Amino acid sequence: MGCFLHLSSSVSHLCWMSSHFIMSVRKRTVREARNAFQSSKATNPKVMVDYYTTWAENYEEDHRLMSFQSPHLAVDFLSEHFIGSPEETRVLDVACGTGYIAKLMKGLGYRHFVGVDGSKGMLELAAKTGLYQDLKLALLGTEPLPVETSAFDVVIITGALDAGFVPVSVIRELCNAAKPGGLVCMARGDHTGAPAAKYKEDLQKELHMMEEEGLWSLVGTKLTDRYMEDPHLVYDGDEEGIQEKQYISGTVYLYRTSISASM
């Protein structure tokens, strides 16, 4: 009986400790997530990757809080047009972050992933998924894409094609990494501001120029008016109580590389 009382006391103490721990773990708020997105751009590339390393632990949760749909939109659109065996497909996940794209694609049968990102902290979390055969550290735009040419059946990049992140010039490297007849899938949001507008204009010019050069052909685009909650909004009051959410639009681009053209 004494042992039972002692055990009950220990269990009660453990239950109290567990409850106390759960209460002490504060959940991220939408305001914190919004602030994180607003702070993620930097003119200095090193400052930017250092920020992403510190953001890594909260990265996926903040994207969930902001209703970030880019990975889902890209993977769904890619799947609608993909012909072949996912199990045998080599996927290059560019700006892979914590590995969310690979997690989504695994559910569709894809098994072979190589990831590239500029943040060591992000790559460490991506490695923990156990889904990547190789992960490479590279700051795109200042360093070349560190992969073989014409090596991947699918090349995918989501969320990184915007001013202050991955420059437009990297688009040709994505095309170069895909096998002849391979697919390049890109998803991006229409962020506000003059730099974002200029980036989109330059991107459209580059995409069309590469078509004219015979490097690839457009499979299709998909537009959405709910790419993610608008991260640029600033509220004076309590934004947690706001019922009507505001979103930015976005686009998924899907291209098939030319079988005959060489880069």
User: Is residue 81 scored above 50 in pLDDT?
Assistant: yes
Q: How close are the terminal C-alpha atoms of the chain, in Å?
A: 81
Q: Is residue 24 part of a domain?
A: no
Higher local confidence (pLDDT), 40 or 182:
182
Q: Is residue 9 part of a domain?
A: no
Average pLDDT of the chain to the nearest whole number? 85
Residues with Cβ < 8 Å from 163, sequence gap 6 or more?
41, 191, 193, 195, 196, 198, 199
- Give the pLDDT of residue 224: 95
| pTM, 2 dp | 0.83
Max avg pLDDT among 30-44, 64-78, 206-220: 206-220
Which residues constitute the domain of residue 64?
30-232+244-257
Q: Is residue 22 part of a domain?
A: no
Span 118-138, pLDDT tens digits: 999 999 999 999 999 999 999
Q: Is residue 21 part of a domain?
A: no
Q: Is residue 23 part of a domain?
A: no
- Angstrom distance (rounded) from CA 176 to CA 257: 9
Among candidate residues 202, 230, 207, the one with its CA nearest the CA of residue 218: 207
Mean pLDDT over 207-212 rounds to: 98
Q: Is residue 10 part of a domain?
A: no
Among candidate residues 78, 30, 18, 29, the one with its CA nearest the CA of residue 229: 30
Q: Is residue 16 part of a domain?
A: no
Among candidate residues 75, 91, 96, the one with its CA nearest the CA of residue 151: 91
| Order of strands, sheet of 152-158, starting from the edge strand that comes earlier in the sequence | 132-137, 112-117, 90-94, 152-158, 178-189, 247-257, 216-229
Range from 50-64, 217-231, 233-247 carrying the lowest mean pLDDT: 233-247
Q: Is residue 25 part of a domain?
A: no
| Structural domains in the chain (count) | 1
The domain spanning residue 218 has which CATH number? 3.40.50.150
Element (H, E) at 183: strand 178-189
Span 85-112, pLDDT tens digits: 999 999 999 999 999 999 999 999 999 9
Among candidate residues 202, 207, 129, 142, the one with its CA nearest the CA of residue 174: 207
Share of the chain above pLDDT 70, in %: 84
Reported confidence tier of residue 192, pLDDT bands at 50, 70, 90: confident
Residues with Cβ < 8 Å from 107, sequence gap 6 or more?
none
- Give the pLDDT of residue 263: 43
